[in-house]
Amino acid sequence: MLIVFQIVVAIAVLVAIAFMLRGGGARHQAIRRIIFLAFILIVASSVFFPQFWTWLANLVGIGRGADLITYLLVLTFLGYVATTHRRFRSIENDVTELARQMALDRAVSPDASDAPTRRD
């Protein structure tokens, strides 16, 4: 059963990479919220039903429920990193576009070399 868990983890990593490379939008935000809700439910259930997580860990070939939850936490963190990376890249692109537009707005045209420059 451990191989099944390893395959599922590998697929989850590939999905995180795909989300990082793909554009965002409302659908992506909805998926993030669903995953966050699932994470909250996992945390709450681990407090109230720790024996369930041990049983589930043993089912997939992992020794303890705490180890399984740690693996899930690492996968969640990987998703967070992928999402944050994509969001920062989008912000960087926006800032670059704004800086270019400001440079063009403040540039002096060759025809108006004697016109006063605009200073804000």
Over the stretch 55-88, which tens digit does the pLDDT of each residue have?
A: 999 988 888 988 988 888 888 788 788 778 888 8
Residue/partner pairs of 34-41 with CB below 8 Å, 24 or more apart: 35/76, 35/79, 39/76
Q: Would the pLDDT of 119 be above 80? A: no
Is residue 58 domain-resident? yes
Is residue 55 domain-resident? yes
Is residue 115 domain-resident? no
Whether the full predicted model's pTM is greater than 0.85, yes or no, is no
- Residue 22: which of 89, 91, 120, 111 has the closest Cα? 89
Is residue 74 domain-resident? yes
Is residue 67 domain-resident? yes
Question: Any idea what DSSP says for residue 63?
Answer: S
Strands (E), 1-120: none
How many domains is the chain partitioned into structurally? 1
Is residue 14 domain-resident? yes
Instruction: Kindly report the average pLDDT of the chain as a whole number.
Output: 79
Domain that holds residue 27: 2-103
- Residue 64: which of 52, 54, 73, 75 has the closest Cα? 54
Is residue 113 domain-resident? no
Give me the count of residues in the chain.
120
**pLDDT at residue 90 in the model:** 86
Rg of the chain, C-alpha, whole Å = 24
Question: CA 90, CA 97: separation in Å to the nearest integer?
Answer: 11
Is residue 111 domain-resident? no
